[in-house]
Amino acid sequence: MVTLENYILGKWVTGDGDGQALYNAVSGDTIARATTKGLDFNAILTYAREKGNPALRKMSFHERGLLLKALALHLREHLDEFYKISYQTGATKADSWVDIEGGIGNLFSYASLRRKFPDTPYCLDGENHQLGKANTFMGHHLLIPKEGVAVHINAFNFPVWGMLEKIAVNILAGIPAVVKPATVTSYLTEAVVKQIAASRILPDGALQLICGSAGDMLEHVSSQDVITFTGSASTGLMLKSGKRVLEENVPFTMEADSLNCIVLGEDVIPGMPEWDIFIKEVRKEMTTKCGQKCTAIRRIFVPENKLEDVQIFLGKALAQTVIGNPLNEKVRMGSLAGEAQRKEVKEQVQKLLASSQIIYGSLDNVEVIDADAHKGAFMSPILLLNNHPLNSKEVHEVEAFGPVSTLMPYHSIDEAIVLAKMGKGSLVSTIVTADKKIAKQYVLGAGTYHGRILILNEPCAKESTGHGSPLPLLVHGGPGRAGGGEEMGGIRGVKHYMQRVAVQGSPDMITAVSNVYQPGATGNLDTVHPFKKYFEELVIGDQLITEKRLITSEDIDRFADLSGDHFYAHLTKTDFAGTMFEKQVAHGYFIMSMAAGLFVNSYEKNPVLLNYGIDELRFTKPVYPGAEIHIRFTCKEKISQEKKEPTDIDKGIVKWLVEMIDETSEIVGVATILTMVEKRVQ
**Could you list the active site residues?**
255, 294
Q: Are strands 30-34 and 20-23 parallel, antiparallel or unpaired?
A: antiparallel
By DSSP bridging, strand 299-303 and strand 404-410 are parallel
The dihedrals phi and psi of 498, each to the nearest 5 degrees, come to -125, 150
Task: Give the span between the Cα atoms of 228 and 272, in whole angstroms.
Answer: 42
The DSSP 8-state label assigned to residue 122 in this structure reads: S
Q: What are phi and psi of 206, to 5 degrees?
A: -75, -25
DSSP-assigned letter for residue 124: E
Residue type, 288: T
Are the C-beta atoms of 504 and 139 separated by less than 8 Å?
yes
Q: Which residues have a Cβ under 8 Å from the Cβ of 143 and sit 6 or more positions away?
A: 122, 123, 124, 125, 495, 498, 499, 500
Phi-psi sector, 195: left (phi>0), alpha (psi -120 to 50), beta? alpha
Nearest 5°: the CA angle 110, 115, 117 is: 95
Burial class (CB in 10 A: 0-12, 13-18, 19+), 206: buried
Distance separating the N- and C-terminal Cα atoms of the chain: 56
Q: Which amino acid is at 378?
A: F
104: amino acid identity, one letter: I
Give the integer Cα–Cα distance in Å for 90 and 27.
Answer: 9
Rounded to whole angstroms, the Cα distance separating 279 from 275 reads 6
Distance between CA atoms of residues 187 and 581, nearest Å: 72
Q: How many Å apart are CA 392 and CA 399, to the nearest integer?
A: 14
CB 660 within 8 A of CB 670: yes
Say if residues 131 and 123 touch (Cβ distance below 8 Å): no
- 10 Rama sector, left if φ>0, alpha if ψ -120 to 50, beta otherwise: left
Helix (H, G, I), strand (E, B) or coil at 428: strand
Q: Which residues pair with 252 in a beta bridge?
A: 227
CA distance 281 to 432: 10
Whether residue 659 contacts residue 635, with contact meaning beta carbons closer than 8 Å, is answered with no
User: What are residue 488's DSSP bridge partners?
Assistant: 475
